[in-house]
């Protein structure tokens, strides 16, 4: 017989051992797949690191990919702390990009600092409002936020599709469905070959860590996440906190949309989010919603993604196989969290019966 018991605590040594075992196990299983494909697993793993860190250019590309992952993970991780399951990062990024693009395309004649500031504010407001809608329905009518935030992703996608193919379609693109590129005044400056969004990431990570750990609002968010009834009994304005927190959560995701169009894509398109919103969910849980751990996890994931693209070219590995390698690693690492919180106890049927008899009192007449 197998029984699963919840562990009250888990020592640091046990956590390190379990997670290390999970990573090594994932590499072994992925190595078997690579052997079936006719490749040396050690060489492929080395090439993944080379693809993400092997040169100055590749390192910059990895950092560029890390920026939206880290910021989006911080945004949705804030709502996750309240156990408000915001699965709408994709839509919030797209709507933030829409708001920023509207400003960038119509007010590029203004000075660059002013244009970028307005684009950032527009991105934050649009992303925040997109997250505020399901939050309002949640606190007002107790709707399911998981379904609502997920469905709003598709609404945002269809809206951006309409914008790209009809409303804002560039007449000078020779029939190709695209939105005009942003002027230079609406593009983020670059530092060391990377757009200045790289400066925002550590600042926001530090702010989020201090906010959650040391401020009253951060404490209230944590209490609501532990038990909403306890927060209400303590006199906290739970509904107001949920609404304001979701606006901030969506606003951070909306800011990511602004950064992507102003620093990477130079225009708005249906590919602006690039599945970052869904990937950030995994990163948030891998990091246990800790801001500093989110930064580290985002960097490692960016290395893995860039390395995966590199091995497709070098070894002619299909994209599906490269994605499967990434999925195996994530599956094992996420699955290891079960063994951190729970323990499986194996007992014989006889011992199980004796334990049942010992814990069952006879009925007294």
283 and 331 together in one domain: no
CA distance 90 to 131: 11
Q: Which pTM does this prediction carry? A: 0.88
pLDDT tens digits, 2-52: 677 777 777 778 878 888 888 888 888 888 888 888 888 899 889 888 988
How high does pLDDT run on average in the chain? Answer: 88
335/201 same-domain check? no
Burial of 9 (0-12, 13-18, 19+ CB in 10 A): exposed
| Predicted confidence band of residue 362 (pLDDT cuts 50, 70, 90) | low
Final residue in a domain of this structure, among 272, 288, 304:
288
Whether residue 61 is contained in a domain is answered as no
Domain shared by 1 and 89, yes or no: no
**Residues 231 and 346 occupy one common structural domain:** no
Q: Is the Cβ–Cβ distance between 247 and 134 less than 8 Å? A: no
Query: Has residue 201 been placed in a domain?
Result: yes
**pLDDT (tens digit, 9 = 90+) per residue, 66-107?**
999 999 999 999 999 999 999 999 999 999 999 999 999 999
What is the spatial distance between Cα 282 and Cα 199, in angstroms, rounded to a whole number? 24
Q: Looking at residue 34, what is its pLDDT?
A: 85
The answer to whether residues 115 and 193 belong to one domain is yes
Angle, helix 276-286 to helix 291-314, in steps of 10 degrees: 120
Q: Are 344 and 242 contained in the same domain?
A: no
For residue 49, tell me if it sits in a domain.
Answer: no
Residue 325: pLDDT over 80:
no
Residues 112 and 219 occupy one common structural domain: yes
Q: At what angle do helices 112-141 and 145-162 cross, to 10 degrees?
A: 140
Domain limits at 180? 69-288
Q: What average pLDDT does this structure show over 316-323?
A: 77
pLDDT confidence bin for 136, thresholds 50/70/90? very high
Q: What is the pLDDT of residue 356?
A: 60
Query: Is residue 124 assigned to a domain?
Result: yes
Q: Which of 236, 270, 288 is the last residue of a domain?
A: 288
Q: Residue 76: inside a domain, yes or no?
A: yes
Round to whole Å and give the CA distance between 98 and 89: 14
- Domain count within the chain: 2
E strands present in the chain: 2-6, 190-191, 194-195, 342-346
In this prediction, residue 354 carries a pLDDT of 63
Q: Are 258 and 96 in contact (CB under 8 A)?
A: yes
**Contact (Cβ atoms closer than 8 angstroms) between residue 283 and residue 80:** no
pLDDT of 361 > 60? The answer is no
Chain position carrying tokens 């909403």: 228
Same domain (yes/no): 266, 334: no
Whether 50 is covered by a domain: the verdict is: no
Q: How confident is the model at residue 365 (pLDDT cuts 50, 70, 90)?
A: very low
Section 307-316 average pLDDT: 85
Do the domain assignments include residue 53?
A: no
In degrees, rounded to 5, the angle at the alpha carbon of residue 188 between the alpha carbons of residues 183 and 193 is 120
Could you tell me if 239 and 337 lie in one domain? no
Task: Render pLDDT for 249-274 as a digit per residue (tens, 0 to 9).
Answer: 999 999 999 999 999 999 999 999 98
How confident is residue 248, by pLDDT bands cut at 50, 70 and 90? Answer: very high
Q: Is residue 311 part of a domain?
A: no
Alpha carbon of residue 43 to chain centroid: 29
What pLDDT is attached to residue 214?
A: 93
């Amino acid at each position: 017989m197998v029984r699963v018991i919840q562990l009250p605590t888990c020592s640091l040594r046990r956590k390190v051992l379990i997670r290390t075992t999970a990573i090594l196990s994932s590499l072994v299983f992925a190595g078997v797949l690579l052997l079936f494909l006719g490749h040396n697993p050690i060489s492929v793993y080395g090439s993944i690191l080379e693809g993400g860190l092997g040169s100055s250019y590749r390192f910059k590309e990895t950092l560029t990919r890390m920026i939206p992952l880290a910021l989006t993970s911080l945004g949705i991780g804030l709502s996750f702390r309240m156990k408000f399951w915001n699965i709408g990062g994709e839509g919030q990024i797209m709507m933030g990009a829409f708001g920023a693009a509207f400003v960038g395309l119509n007010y590029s004649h203004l000075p660059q600092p002013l244009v970028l500031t307005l684009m950032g504010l527009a991105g934050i407001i649009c992303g925040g409002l997109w997250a505020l809608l399901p939050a309002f329905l949640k606190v007002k009518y107790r709707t399911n936020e998981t379904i609502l935030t997920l469905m709003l992703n598709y609404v945002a996608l269809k809206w951006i599709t309409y914008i790209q193919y009809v409303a804002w379609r560039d007449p000078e693109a020779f029939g190709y469905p695209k939105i005009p590129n942003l002027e230079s005044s609406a593009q983020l400056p670059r530092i060391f070959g990377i757009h200045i969004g790289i400066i925002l990431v550590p600042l926001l990570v530090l702010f989020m860590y201090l906010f959650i750990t040391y401020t009253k609002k951060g404490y209230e968010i944590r209490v609501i996440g532990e038990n909403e009834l306890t927060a209400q009994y303590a006199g906290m304005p739970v509904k107001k906190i949920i609404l304001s927190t979701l606006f901030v959560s969506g606003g951070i995701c909306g800011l990511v949309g602004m950064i992507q169009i102003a620093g990477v894509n130079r225009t708005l398109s249906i590919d602006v989010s690039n599945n970052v919103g869904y990937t950030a969910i995994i990163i948030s849980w891998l990091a246990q919603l800790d801001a500093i751990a989110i930064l580290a996890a985002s960097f490692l994931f960016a290395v893995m993604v860039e390395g995966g693209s590199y091995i497709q070219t070098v070894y002619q590995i299909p994209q599906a196989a490269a994605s499967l390698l990434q999925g195996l690693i994530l599956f094992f690492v996420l699955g290891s969290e079960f063994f951190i919180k729970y323990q499986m106890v194996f007992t014989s049927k006889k011992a199980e019966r004796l334990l049942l008899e010992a814990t069952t009192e006879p009925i007294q007449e």
